Structure 1
Amino acid sequence: MRIYLIAPKNPESFWTFDRILPSLNKKCVFPNLALPTVAAITPPEHEVVLCDENVEPIDFDTDADLVGITGYVVHRTRVLEIIDAFKRRGKFVVGGGPLASLCPEDLRGKADVVFVDEAEYTWPRFLREYAAGCWDAEYVQHEKPDMRDSPRPRFDLLKSDRYRTMTIQFARGCPFNCEFCDIIVMYGRRPRTKSVEQVMAEVREIHRLGVTNVFVVDDNFIGNKKDAKALLKAIAEWQRANGFPLEFMTEVTLNVAQDDELLQLMRRANFSTIFVGIESPRASSLQETHKTQNMREDMMTAIHRIQRAGIEVMAGMIVGFDHDDSTIFEEQFRFIQEARIPISMTGLLNALPRTPLYHRLRDAGRLIAGHVGDQFLFTNVMPAGMSRLELYEGYKRLLHRLYDYGNYRERAMALILNQGAAIQSTLLASGKDLRILVRLLWTCVFRASPRRAAMTVRLLTETALRRPRAIRQALTLALLHKHLYEYVHDISRQLDRLIDELATLPNVGMQPTPEPAREN
């Protein structure tokens, strides 16, 4: 049987970096790991073709016998469009991924089969039953799969040269209990990990494919510290033996700062960047959302300790908690500036289906919509500490201040001058680095606005004079700002429309304006 697996195009966000991908000669930052993972758990008698709409168009006239679609809540509109397009062509369509797991009702009656939760066991079972001519309309994985049963993803089926970064997964689940988080709903609170050898096989395969950047997509890489340390030791040994060919990033909780051994192992394994859900500088907001792991010590101290270990911190921040009032925006801005965090993914609080926050606010009558997916533009939560108008106005001002040329350069330069040395600290040593430098100068200096050109030149010049070995980091930060600045100004126009409506009629704008359907 021929199976066609699809990941839909991502709507633009802080994470997509669409504005700078041409400068990197790439189509997408990283692939959806579900595609090669499901391909790997497909029995070998079936032929599997992968399609990531971010790097190639969907073949709606495929001769595949079965079409599978994965996606997140933010992909809902596009997932339904794709399902409808294939159903009109008479195809048998199945749906899975976080959207199907959190909102299965959205796919029921549209896809022929819906997969809820992880699919290591249910997908092969369905294929056997489908071949026998008798299958279920919905497959639910009640017991969490053993990660050691998850085979090496079929990276070879991806068009790896079209991505900047490849993705691997070491663990699922998180031991913490943040009220807004859907990870514990989908993957549970007991972290489950692959074996060290499983992950190292994936690392070697990615290296063989010629990729140099790896994103470990675990929602909390250090949920099981013992297993994480064992893996980091193996990666560090492999890196040293092979000349440090790979650069890693991942997501962790802030308590990583309280384990010096863990920080040093991450540095030795060449983890250059970590994404940390800091959420808020306000203790009452952290307490409210059960993010108590961020309250074990002063957060500024913890962040600076990570940076001194040679690791950059990217932050996830949220406004709109019940304990947030109109002063939170200034508090957030000051915190991010002092923390020396150039890249802050700052969004609005959203209540995702099946989360404790969703149930609490639904019972209190404070949900504006069931789910919207796009936390950077809309919230489905009626705020408690301020009006919706105050929330949107303050949020827009905060984004503009964060990505103002001067404020961003100040944070970037503070990080460059105060961050510890990375395990691999080199100047522009490769042809790839030099090509990126040429593209950056073309994009951010010669063809840029005077303000962007001035910021870029000043950032690079000061780095070259004061810390020349950090020039690659300065180049990266200068290029990233282009996407962040332009994206913020684009969503500001959409926020302005909602703000104008709320200023006139406070009850309008209860739902985001739907995007027009695409041609299929």
Structure 2
Amino acid sequence: MLSAVTPPQHEVTILNTTYKNIDFSGDYDLVGIHCFTCTAPLAYKVADEFRKRGITVVLGGYHPSALPEEAKQHADAVVIGEAEEIWPRLLKDFEKGRLKPFYRQKKPVDPAHIPSQKFSSSKDFHPAVQATRGCPYQCEFCSQTIINSKKIFRARPIENVVEEIRSIPGNFFIFHDASLTIDPNYTKRLFKELIGVNKYFFCNGNVDVLSKDEELLHLAKEAGCVGWLVGFESLSQASLESVGKKTNKIDNYIKAVEKIHDHRMMVCGTFVFGFDGDTIEVFDRTREFVEISGIDVPDALILTPFPGTPLFKRLEREGRILTRDWSKYDHKHVVFKPKHMTPEELLSNTRELYEEFFSMWNMSKRIIKSIKLGYRPFISVLFSSLTMAATEMGVDITL
């Protein structure tokens, strides 16, 4: 995204890579690194290595925005929040030798000014497009508000989004929006414009809309949608309400899955374990629900309190944070004290459920079912995603 707002006099190289594949001896003037919490240790290692060679480093992304003072120990400058309007100004300061330690986006970027990406080739791994930014909801565990202004939801002009999608070299992309169902009317207009563009896509949506809005689902299918990622999160209404997940009513879960399937699209459902209301019984309830509902690709995640979120602040106040080893903040490790089970019980039961979900037997059953139901476009995407998840996680680097 930043390459699109970089002045033409600057030559840009973008890497989405791992440490061992970085050429630290290259002739770079400035290196920008974007990272999440779980990749922060790797990002810091990369940044330190470049700075040893006298190269200026700028850090940005969710983790540096949440903990800018920490990030500054490994960088010459830290970008806090959205970067599109900051980046050109930062480059001017760099050219003049007046780089500031911190650059903070004080107001939300105008969605009309969010640039379209430049897709270099069809080899890009599943290009991601963002039609909207922000979320009006305030889920306690969500890191959206670290980058995006609180409760401010914005939608890009539809013609800009469609133009960007048309420029994608391949025939598949992912909508990277927090949810494409926050403003159903906008989404319907967008889907209408995508009919005939001949691209397949995958997107995120909320239970409240997907369980009721037949028109949106029909248009999604016509536009090329092959599947929805739905954050079911929990089968406990009390747990959902305790963390502010207002879009989820458990009574609508089965209905949402059925309606998506009725329109011949797949459902990838995420379930999070470790909420304060969770007991050991939650795992069996989830196992049973997944079997009954027919969710195509279920996922089991451990609740993770990312720095900067209300959840992290609360657990820190309560003395329940177990580690600040950020590499473990990846939904696969337990980094806090659960309320009604031990950390070991939370870890072992979540892993057991995950392994069941992705066992060869269960995966084979789902793939056969998907082929019979005509979900062919998504099969290759599913395998590619699993392969990517199994590889070493990298960081985004702008040179």
TM superposition score normalised by structure 2? 0.90
Equivalent-residue separation in structure 2 for 1:365 and 1:89 (angstroms): 40
- Equivalences for residues 68-107 of structure 1 within 5 A: 68-107=32-71
Q: 1:475–1:93: structure 2 CA closer, same or farther, 3 Å change rule?
A: closer
Residues 39-73 of structure 1, C-alpha deviation per residue, up to 9 Å, x if partnerless?
11111222212222169932211112111111111
Per residue, is there more helix in 1 or in 2?
1
Equivalent-residue separation in structure 2 for 1:269 and 1:167 (angstroms): 16
Q: Does structure 1 conserve the Cα–Cα contact (< 8 Å) formed by 2:265 and 2:375?
A: no
Alignment partner, residue 9 of structure 1: none
Q: 1:323 aligns with which of 267, 270, 277?
A: 277
My pick for the range that moved more, 53-62 or 382-391, is 53-62
Equivalent-residue separation in structure 1 for 2:298 and 2:74 (angstroms): 37
Equivalent-residue separation in structure 1 for 2:382 and 2:28 (angstroms): 44
Q: 1:154–1:189: structure 2 CA closer, same or farther, 3 Å change rule?
A: same
Q: 1:376–1:391: structure 2 CA closer, same or farther, 3 Å change rule?
A: same
SS in 2 for 1:51: strand
Alignment partner, residue 332 of structure 1: 286
SS in 2 for 1:48: coil
Equivalent-residue separation in structure 1 for 2:265 and 2:173 (angstroms): 15
- TM-fit CA distance, 1:222: 2.2
Alignment partner, residue 208 of structure 2: 255
Residue 306 of structure 1 pairs with residue 210 of structure 2: no
- TM-fit CA distance, 1:133: 2.4
Q: Does structure 1 conserve the Cα–Cα contact (< 8 Å) formed by 2:233 and 2:270?
A: yes
Q: Does structure 1 conserve the Cα–Cα contact (< 8 Å) formed by 2:304 and 2:330?
A: yes
Equivalent-residue separation in structure 2 for 1:369 and 1:471 (angstroms): 42
Q: Does structure 1 conserve the Cα–Cα contact (< 8 Å) formed by 2:208 and 2:249?
A: no
Residues 325-344 of structure 1, C-alpha deviation per residue, up to 9 Å, x if partnerless?
01111111111122212322
Equivalent-residue separation in structure 2 for 1:45 and 1:336 (angstroms): 53
Residue 386 of structure 1 pairs with residue 341 of structure 2: yes
My pick for the range that moved more, 300-309 or 322-331, is 300-309
- TM-fit CA distance, 1:290: 1.5
Unaligned 5+ segments in structure 1 are 1-36, 417-462, 491-520
SS in 1 for 2:39: helix
- TM-fit CA distance, 1:373: 5.0
- Equivalences for residues 202-281 of structure 1 within 5 A: 202-206=164-168, 209=169, 211-236=170-195, 238-239=196-197, 244=198, 246-257=199-210, 258-281=212-235
Q: 1:353–1:330: structure 2 CA closer, same or farther, 3 Å change rule?
A: same
- TM-fit CA distance, 1:378: 0.8
Q: Does structure 1 conserve the Cα–Cα contact (< 8 Å) formed by 2:357 and 2:363?
A: yes
Q: Does structure 2 conserve the Cα–Cα contact (< 8 Å) formed by 1:41 and 1:124?
A: yes
- TM-fit CA distance, 1:223: 2.0
Residues 8-37 of structure 1, C-alpha deviation per residue, up to 9 Å, x if partnerless?
xxxxxxxxxxxxxxxxxxxxxxxxxxxxx1
Residue 109 of structure 1 pairs with residue 73 of structure 2: yes
Q: Does structure 1 conserve the Cα–Cα contact (< 8 Å) formed by 2:207 and 2:252?
A: no
My pick for the range that moved more, 85-94 or 162-171, is 162-171
Equivalent-residue separation in structure 1 for 2:302 and 2:177 (angstroms): 22
- TM-fit CA distance, 1:131: 1.8
Q: Does structure 2 conserve the Cα–Cα contact (< 8 Å) formed by 1:185 and 1:354?
A: yes
Alignment partner, residue 103 of structure 2: 139
Q: Does structure 2 conserve the Cα–Cα contact (< 8 Å) formed by 1:256 and 1:263?
A: no
Equivalent-residue separation in structure 1 for 2:110 and 2:367 (angstroms): 41
Equivalent-residue separation in structure 2 for 1:477 and 1:147 (angstroms): 29
- TM-fit CA distance, 1:116: 0.7
My pick for the range that moved more, 47-56 or 107-116, is 47-56
Q: Does structure 2 conserve the Cα–Cα contact (< 8 Å) formed by 1:372 and 1:379?
A: no
SS in 1 for 2:290: helix
Q: Does structure 1 conserve the Cα–Cα contact (< 8 Å) formed by 2:367 and 2:379?
A: no
What amino acid is the match of 1:69? I
Q: 1:387–1:136: structure 2 CA closer, same or farther, 3 Å change rule?
A: same
What amino acid is the match of 1:193? A
- Identical columns (%): 27
Equivalent-residue separation in structure 2 for 1:55 and 1:227 (angstroms): 40
Residue 182 of structure 1 pairs with residue 143 of structure 2: yes
Q: 1:199–1:71: structure 2 CA closer, same or farther, 3 Å change rule?
A: same
What amino acid is the match of 2:139? C
What amino acid is the match of 2:157? S
My pick for the range that moved more, 119-128 or 370-379, is 370-379
Q: 1:185–1:96: structure 2 CA closer, same or farther, 3 Å change rule?
A: closer
TM superposition score normalised by structure 1? 0.70
- TM-fit CA distance, 1:114: 0.5
SS in 2 for 1:325: coil
Unaligned 5+ segments in structure 2 are 392-399
Alignment partner, residue 367 of structure 1: 321
Q: Does structure 2 conserve the Cα–Cα contact (< 8 Å) formed by 1:164 and 1:213?
A: no
Alignment partner, residue 92 of structure 2: 128
Residue 194 of structure 1 pairs with residue 156 of structure 2: yes
Q: Does structure 1 conserve the Cα–Cα contact (< 8 Å) formed by 2:86 and 2:105?
A: yes
Q: Which has the higher contact order (CA 8 A, sep 6+)?
A: 2
Q: Does structure 2 conserve the Cα–Cα contact (< 8 Å) formed by 1:40 and 1:152?
A: yes
Alignment partner, residue 358 of structure 2: 403
Q: 1:96–1:474: structure 2 CA closer, same or farther, 3 Å change rule?
A: closer
Alignment partner, residue 374 of structure 2: 470
Equivalent-residue separation in structure 1 for 2:73 and 2:386 (angstroms): 42
Residues 340-376 of structure 1, C-alpha deviation per residue, up to 9 Å, x if partnerless?
1232221111111111111111111111124445434
Q: Does structure 1 conserve the Cα–Cα contact (< 8 Å) formed by 2:59 and 2:77?
A: yes
